[in-house]
Structure formats: C-alpha cells, structure tokens
Amino acid sequence: MVSIPIAPRLAKLGLVKTVYLARHGETDWNLARRWQGSTDIPLNDVGRAQARALAERLRPHRIARVHASDLARAHETATIVAAELGAAFDGTSARFRERGFGVFEGLTREECEGRWPAEWQAYVDDFRNAPPDAEPAERVIERMRAGVSDLAAEGPTLVVSHGASIRMLIASLGGPPPAPILNAAIFRLRLEGAAIAEIIELA
C-alpha cells in the first residue's frame, strides 16, 4: 500500500477524485497459468461469477461510471459490473490494457523458464524487466497514469484493467514492488488534480 495525505485545500476546490481500479475476472489462460499479455482471451464462467461478486463488493462505494481496457476479459468484467450496479459504462481504452509480454505470451511459467532461461530469470528478479518484444515498463506506466488522470471527476469511477499494468502503476509510486494481483482485486486511488496521491488495496 502507498498512502499520501491529501491536502484539504484541494478537496475544497473539487480537485480530488476517487477512482477504483480492479483486475478482470478469471480466464482459461489464468487457470492454466499462461501469460496473456495483449492476447485477447475471454472470461470463463468463473470469471463472470467473479465479476458479479466484484459488483457486490463495490456496491457500497456508489460507483457512478465504469471504464475498461479494450481487451475482452476486462471489457466483459466491466459491462457485468456496470449492469449489476446500474452505473454508466463509458467504454474502453487501450491505455488500460495489459502489458504486452512479447515472447512469453501463451506460455506457462515453466515453458518461459525452459525456452527463455536468461530472460525469465531477469523477469523473476524484477517484474519490470521486459522480455523480448514486450512493452517497456515505462510505456505501461505512462499510459496507465495518463488514462487514470484524464478521467472526468463525475462521482466514484471504476476502471477494469489487468494485473501487470496495475502492479507497474503501484510500483511507480514508490515502496516495495507489490505481489501478483488476484483476479477481481480492487484498489482505491485518490487523485489531486492529475497526480495520484493515494492508493489502497481494498479487502
């Protein structure tokens, strides 16, 4: 968790907004522990049930608007949540999509280690290291920050995104690298203007 106090003056000026950031529900590749990255894999039935449960966990937070990555697993999670909560679904954006994992995509961890041992070890040592043909960490962080910062302050907003992209955003704020993020995990962000001032994982 990274937590930075929010200046009361900004809150009074209406420059503070709340964004909830959630990972999509389960897919068959999640179940098989295959790297998905930018490969477009749909939710499975467990993932759809997780999306409905995600909506119930978010109900007390009065989500007004829902956004999503343009990949199917996040898009479907978001539309299920929006329908369950009666919130407006405001569409998808590539800025919230998963990091492209290059040569790791479609492989299990064991296959990555067997086929790309040096590259796999570099990734294990620091998840920000990019395997061959993967999207650089700096680019992921830049687009995620821009996407969150550009959201309109029209009540609490949900963004459905992806595990690695969320981890990189959190890591960019300082503190120890976060653990891998579970399907349907939720984080609450508070923004001061365009800056992320606080991020907390919700139980």
Q: Which residues are catalytic?
A: 24, 98
CA 24 and chain centroid, separation: 8
Cα(155)–Cα(65) distance, integer angstroms: 7
How open is the CA angle 140-6-141, to the nearest 5 degrees?
Answer: 5
> How many Å apart are CA 199 and CA 31, to the nearest integer?
28
SS3 track for 60-86: HHCCCEEEEECCHHHHHHHHHHHHHHC
Three state DSSP letters for 90-132 = EEEEHHHCCCCCHHHCCCEHHHHHHHCHHHHHHHHHCCCCCCC
- 128: phi > 0 → left, psi -120 to 50 → alpha, else beta; which? alpha
What is the chain's length? 203
